[in-house]
Amino acid sequence: MDCSCVSDILLTPSMPALWTPGFAFPDWAYKPESSPGSRQIQLWHFILELLQKEEYHDVIAWQGDYGEFVIKDPDEVARLWGIRKCKPHMNYDKLSRALRYYYNKRILHKTKGKRFTYKFNFSKVVLVNYPLLDMANSSLLLGQNPFPGAHSHDPFTPEALQSLFSPTGRPPLLDRPLSTPETEKLRLEAAFPFLGSVQEESREAERSAGGQTAVGSAYTKPPAMLPPYNRNTPFPDYTWGFNPYLSSTFPLTGSKLPTSLYPPQFYPSSLSQLAPPVSLLPGESLDRSTSLLPGIPQRLCATLNSHPMPLRVSGELGSTGAVRRDRVEQPEGKPEPESDSDLEITDVSDCSSEADGCGYSPPCPGSSIRRSRTEVEPPKTVTTKTSQEKSAAPLS
DNA sequence: CCCGGAACTT
DNA sequence: AAGTTCCGGG
């Protein structure tokens, strides 16, 4: 019930990386809230988030061509994703399956030959998230961007973005009747030359692309705040301690908080001029590591600070190193072995109901933040039927 | 590893 | 719709 998984969030005071110059995240990088059932974070979105944070450079990072990234630590990425989705049994095998589904959607494609390397199809990302954006009007995007070398002419000049995400809150033409998806697609690709040319078009990909024009809304969602990452943080604590990927709303002053979507190298400098002004209030500086985020209500963070987030680096693979490699859960035999649960999340009981309140719950309900089991953790624990039930219930 | 079908869940 | 879970095949 009280899956406080999220609540305690962002705490980690300093998060300069978020506004690192050169990092800008266009609004459209976020799926419109209105989009059917899109309240939940999407994998590609999540990937982008990780990619954006330097803390995760050892886990996943941009590398190679434009939009190309490599998952340096598959297990870790999977674990993080599992945390985000409250899927304690997530692993790279499953995550990669999800990534593979993106192939047909043209959101991603695999970089053959390179292990754990994928490449974003930014144009698609744009379309999916900002279908109504009529680039035509943004002549700046069309007119001045020679395809060769994304560096030659950066389409994302402050002016360009400015016009796209005008102060009025909505990009120009947003309400214009939507032109054909194809048209926009072309335009977008013109604007995003680095994006994998829709090479291997083909098969049903076309179909899915055509039918998935989401309803564009003038919605803007701030990027998630990923607190300093520490891979030593055990799953359980990490999970309940705070929600690293809570991309919930942050009442940021500017409403539009750009963060990085593309590798820095994609934007020699233009963007860097844009980020700072947007996220900071005059007089505020980023180096105030101890300060809260500007614009974020104290109540949101109050409880957070008091939780140092216990670093329990023990149970790595002591008793059951193998356990997590292969799912060793018995279909119905016996409940999760303690050993396993140690790695998997003891409190997952909350998640058993399928990430119900897990993913997104109102920030800091105020007090129900009990997190680390180092705390008090009522002995009764309700004999939670953790994953056991989960795997057994649905089928039988 | 990587791929993608199939069944199932949210 | 967007995965999650399994899984056979390369």
Protein residue at shortest CA distance from C1' of C4 = A94
Classify residue A231 by burial, with Cβ atoms within 10 Å: 0-12, 13-18, 19+.
middle
DSSP structure string for A102-161 = HHHHTSEEE-TTSTTEEEE-HHHHHHHH-TT--TTT-HHHHHT--SS-TTTS-S--HHHH
* Residue A109: both structure tokens together: 């494609």
Dist CA A203 CA A4 (whole Å): 44
Distance CA A320 to C1' B5 in A: 33
Q: CB A204: neighbour CB atoms within 10 A?
A: 8
Alpha-carbon separation of residue A70 from A60, A63, A66 (angstroms): 6, 6, 12
CB A58 within 8 A of CB A72: yes
Map tokens 């990452």 to a residue: A229
Backbone angles phi, psi at A182, to 5 degrees: -60, -45
Protein residue at shortest CA distance from C1' of C2 = A42
Helix axes A203-211, A181-191, angle to 10 degrees: 100
Smallest Cα–Cα separation from A132: which of A44, A28, A210, A26? A28
Dist CA A306 CA A206 (whole Å): 51
Dist CA A277 CA A308 (whole Å): 31
Nucleic chain B: which protein residues 27-46 of A have CB below 7 A from it?
A: 37
* Residue A149: both structure tokens together: 């070398």
Which protein residues, judged by their CB atom, are less than 7 Å from any atom of strand C? A 36-38, 42-44, 81, 85, 87, 89-90, 93-95, 97-98, 101, 105, 128, 211-212, 327, 329, 391
pLDDT of residue A129: 60
Map tokens 């039930």 to a residue: A389
Nucleotides of C under 7 A from a protein CB: 1-7
Is A394 within 7 A of strand B by CB distance?
A: yes
Q: CB A71: neighbour CB atoms within 10 A?
A: 24
Is A74 within 7 A of strand B by CB distance?
A: yes
DSSP structure string for A302-367 = HHHHT---------SSTTTTTTTTS----SSSSPPPHHHHHHH-GGGHHHHTTSHHHH---S--SS
Q: Which residues pair with A71 in a beta bridge?
A: A60
* Residue A208: both structure tokens together: 């899915």
Is A100 within 7 A of strand B by CB distance?
A: yes
Backbone angles phi, psi at A339, to 5 degrees: -55, -40
Nucleotides of B under 7 A from a protein CB: 1-6, 8-10
CB A319 within 8 A of CB A342: yes
Distance CA A106 to C1' C1 in A: 15
Protein residue at shortest CA distance from C1' of B7 = A395
Closest nt by CA–C1' to A36: C1
- SS3 state at A207: helix
Classify residue A168 by burial, with Cβ atoms within 10 Å: 0-12, 13-18, 19+.
exposed
Cα A323 to its chain centre, rounded Å, is: 28
Smallest Cα–Cα separation from A152: which of A26, A272, A267? A267
Smallest Cα–Cα separation from A124: which of A28, A256, A36? A28
Distance CA A132 to C1' C7 in A: 40
Distance CA A137 to C1' B3 in A: 41
Smallest Cα–Cα separation from A99: which of A66, A76, A74, A126? A74
Is A114 within 7 A of strand B by CB distance?
A: yes
pLDDT of residue A40: 81
* Residue A24: both structure tokens together: 């800008």
pLDDT truncated to tens, each residue of chain A (396 aa)? 333 333 223 222 223 223 232 333 444 454 444 344 446 899 999 999 999 999 999 999 999 999 999 999 999 999 999 999 999 999 999 999 999 999 999 999 999 999 999 999 887 776 666 555 434 333 333 332 222 223 222 333 323 323 332 222 233 333 333 333 343 344 434 333 333 333 333 333 333 333 333 333 323 333 334 446 666 555 443 333 233 333 332 222 222 233 344 444 443 222 222 222 223 233 333 332 222 222 222 222 222 222 222 222 233 333 333 333 333 333 333 333 333 333 333 333 344 444 444 543 333 322 222 333 333 333 333 333 333 333 333 322
* Residue A295: both structure tokens together: 């614009």
Closest nt by CA–C1' to A90: C4
pLDDT of residue A350: 40
Is A112 within 7 A of strand B by CB distance?
A: yes
pLDDT of residue A123: 72
Closest nt by CA–C1' to A86: C4
Is A378 within 7 A of strand B by CB distance?
A: no
pLDDT of residue A121: 86
Is A96 within 7 A of strand B by CB distance?
A: yes
Protein residue at shortest CA distance from C1' of B1 = A115
Is A376 within 7 A of strand B by CB distance?
A: no
pLDDT of residue A358: 57
Distance CA A206 to C1' B2 in A: 23
Q: CB A35: neighbour CB atoms within 10 A?
A: 19
